[in-house]
Structure 1
Amino acid sequence: MGCLCRKHFPGLVDLKEGRWEPAWSWDRYKLGSDDEQDNKQERVLADFWRYFKAEEGRETLADQTAHRACKKYVGDMIHEARLQAHVDYYRSIKKEPLNKTGARNVALTKEQYLQVPASWCMSHRSAWSRIVDRYLDPAYIAKHEQGKRKRALRTAPTHHQGSRNLPAFKRALEVAHPDMPVSEFGAWAVSHMGPMKSGQRLHGGG
């Protein structure tokens, strides 16, 4: 689903009265036009449900979970694009190695950011420029630094999935709860909503 959010990123969207801003939230995907659906939000969901089927009687819950997932994915992709730009700039422009950990301590200028747009923003350079403006806003930087300090104080993972990727977390759930069918969609829900309870069913695919 995260891939679909990136694939169908709307770029700049019209907030009415001549205000055009990047779609840096899931809600703003509703404002992006699409050639197959009414808007980009519907396009992402339509493409997703081509490959997955909600359990009968749980369609509403599945739809709500999909929206929650997309909300997180869009926020994450905007945030992660900043770190990826740091890595890309050092590797492709400066020809120096840089990993994600080191990227957290790097600062770029606007001109440098513009040389390494996010892959999903290649055809939306105006939107990327505006996103970069947000990265460089003092309020955003202050919030980012506060988040770093909070993360440094944590002694446990921020969610049940920890550092494992989703397929690995799904396998771990299946081993720990062999009587509870789990789809990847359901595993994502568990990782963000809490531990599984006895007898719980988490189907997301069909």
Structure 2
Amino acid sequence: MEWPVPKESKIWLRGVSMLPSRPYAHKGLIVKPAGLRALVVDGEDIKVPRQPSSIIGCLCRHYYPGLVPIGDGEEEPAWSWEHWKRAPDTKDKWGRVYGSAAERVVNDFWDFFTCAEGMKDEANEVVEAISKKIVQDMPYEARVDAVVKYFAHERKMLLKKSLARRVHLTRSMYMKQIICKWIDPEWRAQHRMASERHALMGGPVHLQGNLNLHAYVQKKNRERGEGQEKLNTFTGLCLPQVKETGRGVGQPRRWIED
């Protein structure tokens, strides 16, 4: 992978996705659980402006509780969903207050979508499962963002995240964005092993983007013309794995020799 060439002008980085203002214009979209860790908008022909997982990610960033008391006067950053369950909530401008920051994320999600009838409890479990995964990934993604920002601001180089994930800065380079875990030798060893396992995949699922499988199948079915066979979950799972080469389109990557 080639390193980018330094630029003379200032590098502008894309900001993070922001939480839409409320009341949300598309709150009428009905979502339902699709498995244990996915939510899908009900209806094949509906174009969704913001995916449910995107809204959950914005809520997690918006309500990040910071340092959480863990007893004996000590505090820890909210590394895990368990920290969020301990973090107190505060009253919002609508007068609502919940038992914890975790409950805030789950309940505020329904400011942006409507749950399918009779599925609220099951849907809340899925919202919590998605939130838990996002929170666990936050420190990892924050480290990658810190690397991207360091090279953009200090070296005038625009690093792609795929390259930034392989770069480790020094304590002084991380500056104010430092998290001690990132320079811990044990964490670096675990990171290296995980990277090696990921490399065995042979490449990313590069066509699915940020959509879960069910939303991806819905999207591709909307794009298919009349007379074309609709995708099901299995064919939808295979489709993101295809690779376009001079020898054909549509074969799974593992069947194609480079």
TM-score, L = length of structure 2 = 0.57
The number of equivalent residue pairs is: 166
Return the offset for 1:27: 1.8
More strand by share: 2
Cα distance change, pair 155–94 in 1 and its aligned pair in 2 (3 A): closer
- What does the per-residue CA deviation read over 1:138-179, in whole Å, with 9 as the maximum and x for residues that have no partner? 111111000100011113657xx864232897253354499x
Q: What code does the residue aligned with 2:80 have?
A: S
Cα contact 2:68–2:77 (8 A) shared by 1: yes
Runs (5+) with no aligned partner, structure 2: 1-55, 92-96, 224-232, 235-258
Equivalent-residue separation in structure 2 for 1:62 and 1:168 (angstroms): 17
Name the residue aligned to 1:143: 190
Equivalent-residue separation in structure 1 for 2:81 and 2:136 (angstroms): 8
Cα distance change, pair 49–112 in 1 and its aligned pair in 2 (3 A): same
Runs (5+) with no aligned partner, structure 1: 118-128, 179-194, 197-206
Cα distance change, pair 17–100 in 1 and its aligned pair in 2 (3 A): same
Identity %, equivalent residues: 35
Name the residue aligned to 1:170: 215
Equivalent-residue separation in structure 2 for 1:174 and 1:95 (angstroms): 38
Cα contact 2:146–2:174 (8 A) shared by 1: yes
Cα contact 2:79–2:139 (8 A) shared by 1: yes
Equivalent-residue separation in structure 2 for 1:63 and 1:169 (angstroms): 18
More helix by share: 1
1:23 pairs with 2:78: yes
Coordinate RMSD, CA, aligned: 2.8
Equivalent-residue separation in structure 1 for 2:152 and 2:203 (angstroms): 32
Whichever of the two has the greater Rg, that structure is: 2
TM-score, L = length of structure 1 = 0.70
